C-alpha cells in the first residue's frame, strides 16, 4: 500500500475489494477478510502509535472513558451516506486493536440469490404471523432476510423494525419506514428490543436470530397479535426447526407452544448453499419450504412432526418442497452436478431415484414430440 495508511483509505479499500472485515493489530499489517479468507495488506507492521492514530478519531467522544476503564467498546461508524461500519476497538498487546465489519449497503434480490418463486410469494402475500428462515452457518440466511425486507421496502408502505446482532445489510427507506436496531449498540439485548418493538406500531419485525426462550416467546406473541415476524434459526431443516423451538421451553409448555405455532406460523424456509457449475455463479441454494396449510396446522398441533416431510413432498403445487426435490431440480437445470448434490442430500439414494425419474419423464416427452 503506497503512502501513509489512514482509516479512510482502509475503509475505501474494504469497499473496493468487497471485504467483510478489517483487522488492525499492533505488530502486524492491517488484514482484510475477503471471501472468508484473511489477506494481509502490503504495508509495514503497525505500531501502538499507528493504531492509536488510526482508531481514536473514529471512537465516539462519549465512549473514550469507557474504552480506558473497561478495555474495549463496540460502536458504529458512519463516514458518509450509505456507509456504515460496526467497530470493536479494544486494548491488547500494549496498544489498541480493532475488528471493523462493513455493513453491506447493497440489498440482494431473489433473482440474484437464485431463490425459488415461493420466497417472493411469501414476502408479497404474507401480512401477519411467523416466518422462519433456517440453515447452518454460512447458508445465506441473512442475505435471504435482506432480500425479503428489500422486496417489501420497494413495494409497500410498512413500518419495519429490525433487531440484529450485528447489522449486516444497511437498508435505505424507499416506500417503507425502517428502523434497524443493533444489539450492544442501540439496545442491550433481544428481549428488551422486542418488548419495545411491539409498542412502536410495527407492521413487520425482523429478528436476526432466535437464541433464548424469552426472545422466542416474544416473537411468537408478536406474530399471534397481528404482526408479521421474520426470524432466523440455526437449524438444518424444517423438522429440526420445530424441535429447536420446543427446546426453548419446558415439556409442560409444549402443547401450548404447538398450538401457538399451529395458529401463527406462516412458513419455514430452510436453505443450504452448494457450489455451482454455471459460469459466473459461485453458489446456489438448495431449499426446503413448509407452508402452514390446514393439514400442516393439524400435524404441528398433534405433534406428528415426522409427517411433515410427506406433506412437503406431496404439496408441490402450493410451493412446498423438500431438500431432495430442490436438489433434483438443481441437477435437472444444470446448476449443480449430481455428485455435489448427493453430498448435500438428506438421502443420496432418494435423490438418485428422483433424478432418474425426472430423466425418464423428460425422455418420454421428447419421444412424444418426435
User: pLDDT averaged over the chain?
Assistant: 92
Q: What is the mean pLDDT of residues 280-292?
A: 95
pLDDT score recorded for residue 369? 53
Answering whether pTM is above 0.75, one says yes
Q: Over the stretch 136-170, which tens digit does the pLDDT of each residue have?
A: 988 999 999 999 999 999 999 999 999 998 788 98
pLDDT at 272 over 80: yes
pLDDT at position 359 is 62
In the sheet that holds 129-134, the strands lie side by side as 177-182, 159-164, 204-207, 228-233, 129-134, 265-275, 283-291
CA distances from 217 to 117, 202, 235, 244, 249 (A): 30, 17, 18, 13, 9
Sign of CA dihedral 59, 65, 67, 68: positive
The pLDDT of residue 360: 54
Higher local confidence (pLDDT), 93 or 153: 153
Other Cβ atoms closer than 10 A to 91: 14
pLDDT of residue 320: 96
Sheet containing 37-40, strands listed edge to edge, beginning at the edge strand earlier in sequence:
37-40, 31-34, 21-24, 95-102, 85-92, 72-77
The set of residues, in sequence order, having a beta carbon less than 8 Å from that of 83 and lying 6+ positions away, is 11, 15, 105
Residue 3: predicted pLDDT: 67
233 pLDDT above the threshold of 50: yes
Name the pairing type of β-strands 21-24 and 31-34.
antiparallel
pLDDT score at 74? 87
What is the arithmetic mean of pLDDT over 173-187? 92
For residue 94, pLDDT over 90 is answered with: no
- Residue 268 pLDDT > 90: yes
Cell of 360: 425418464
Residues ≥6 apart with Cβ < 8 Å to 80: none
Directed axis angle between helix 238-247 and helix 254-264, to 10°?
Answer: 130
The mean pLDDT of 344-363, rounded to a whole number, is 82
**What integer is the mean pLDDT of 179-200?**
91
Instruction: Quote the pLDDT of residue 365.
Output: 40
Q: What is the pLDDT of residue 316?
A: 82
Report percent pLDDT > 90 for the chain. 81
Reported as a single tens digit per residue, the pLDDT across 293-347 is 999 999 999 999 999 999 998 888 889 999 999 999 999 999 999 999 999 999 9
Beta strands in 224-264 (DSSP E): 228-233
Give yes or no for a contact between 326 and 116, defined as CB atoms under 8 angstroms apart.
Answer: yes
Ordered structural domains, the chain, with CATH: 7-102 (3.30.450.90), 110-360 (3.40.50.300)
Amino acid at each position: 500500500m503506497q503512502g501513509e495508511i489512514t482509516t479512510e483509505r482502509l475503509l475505501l479499500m474494504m469497499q473496493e475489494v468487497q471485504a467483510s472485515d478489517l483487522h488492525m493489530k499492533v505488530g502486524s499489517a492491517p488484514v482484510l477478510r475477503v471471501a472468508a479468507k484473511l489477506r494481509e495488506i502490503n504495508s509495514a507492521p503497525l505500531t501502538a502509535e499507528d493504531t492509536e492514530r488510526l482508531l481514536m478519531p473514529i471512537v465516539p467522544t462519549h465512549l473514550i472513558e469507557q474504552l480506558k476503564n473497561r478495555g474495549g467498546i463496540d460502536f458504529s461508524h458512519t463516514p458518509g451516506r450509505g456507509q456504515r461500519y460496526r467497530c470493536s476497538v479494544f486494548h491488547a498487546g500494549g496498544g489498541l486493536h480493532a475488528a471493523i465489519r462493513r455493513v453491506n449497503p447493497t440489498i440482494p434480490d431473489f433473482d440474484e440469490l437464485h431463490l425459488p418463486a415461493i420466497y417472493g410469494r411469501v414476502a408479497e402475500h404474507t401480512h401477519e404471523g411467523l416466518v422462519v428462515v433456517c440453515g447452518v452457518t454460512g447458508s445465506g440466511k441473512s442475505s435471504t432476510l435482506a432480500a425479503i425486507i428489500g422486496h417489501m421496502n420497494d413495494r409497500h408502505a410498512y413500518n419495519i423494525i429490525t433487531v440484529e446482532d450485528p447489522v449486516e445489510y444497511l437498508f435505505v427507506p424507499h416506500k417503507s419506514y425502517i428502523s434497524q436496531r443493533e444489539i450492544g449498540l442501540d439496545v442491550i439485548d433481544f428481549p428488551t428490543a422486542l418488548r419495545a418493538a411491539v409498542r412502536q406500531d410495527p407492521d413487520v419485525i425482523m429478528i436476526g436470530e432466535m437464541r433464548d426462550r424469552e426472545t422466542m416467546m416474544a416473537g411468537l406473541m408478536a406474530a399471534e397479535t397481528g404482526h408479521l415476524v421474520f426470524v432466523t434459526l440455526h437449524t438444518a431443516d424444517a423438522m429440526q426447526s420445530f424441535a429447536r423451538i420446543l427446546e426453548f421451553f419446558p415439556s409442560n409448555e409444549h402443547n401450548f407452544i404447538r398450538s401457538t405455532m399451529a395458529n401463527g406460523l406462516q412458513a419455514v424456509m430452510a436453505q443450504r448453499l452448494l457450489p455451482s457449475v454455471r459460469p459466473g455463479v459461485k453458489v446456489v441454494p438448495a431449499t426446503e419450504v413448509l407452508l402452514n396449510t390446514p393439514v400442516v396446522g393439524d400435524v404441528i398441533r398433534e405433534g406428528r412432526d415426522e409427517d411433515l416431510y410427506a406433506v412437503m413432498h406431496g404439496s408441490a403445487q402450493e410451493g412446498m418442497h423438500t431438500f431432495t426435490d430442490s436438489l433434483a431440480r438443481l441437477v435437472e437445470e444444470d446448476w449443480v452436478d449430481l455428485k455435489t448434490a448427493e453430498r448435500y442430500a438428506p438421502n443420496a439414494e432418494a435423490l438418485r431415484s428422483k433424478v432418474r425419474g425426472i430423466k425418464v419423464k423428460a425422455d418420454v416427452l421428447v419421444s412424444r414430440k418426435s
